[in-house]
Amino acid sequence: MIELICHVANLRDEHVFDVFDGDVVLFAAPAFRALSTQWQPYATGQIKTHDIVCEHHEMTLPRPIRSIGELLQKYLASGSVS
């Protein structure tokens, strides 16, 4: 297990991340909202962060997923995403 963790850490440290050319819609648990600014180097556009009322590890539970789905539906219906 330790070998796997070290391998993943090495992959992360050596990987060069691409930059997304556009705006980003980010969903974050409130405790992690401040970290949303760390995504800016990886996008040329604006980053719109939405707080999802839950803990980070609960983001994929039914209630948070419903909230995320409703927000995504609004973005898609508005035509502001492609």
Tell whether 5 is covered by a domain: no
When divided into structural domains, the chain yields a total of 1
Residue range(s) defining the domain that contains residue 44: 19-78
Tell whether 66 is covered by a domain: yes
Looking at residue 54, its pLDDT comes to 95
Looking at residue 82, its pLDDT comes to 59
Tell whether 10 is covered by a domain: no
Tell whether 37 is covered by a domain: yes
Q: Which two tokens stand for residue 6?
A: 């070290």
Tell whether 4 is covered by a domain: no
Tell whether 6 is covered by a domain: no
- Running along the chain, 82 residues long, what does each successive block of 10 average in pLDDT? 86 86 93 89 94 94 97 89 64
Tell whether 26 is covered by a domain: yes
Do the beta carbons of residue 47 and residue 19 sit within 8 Å?
no
pTM: 0.73
Compute the chain's Rg from CA coordinates: 16
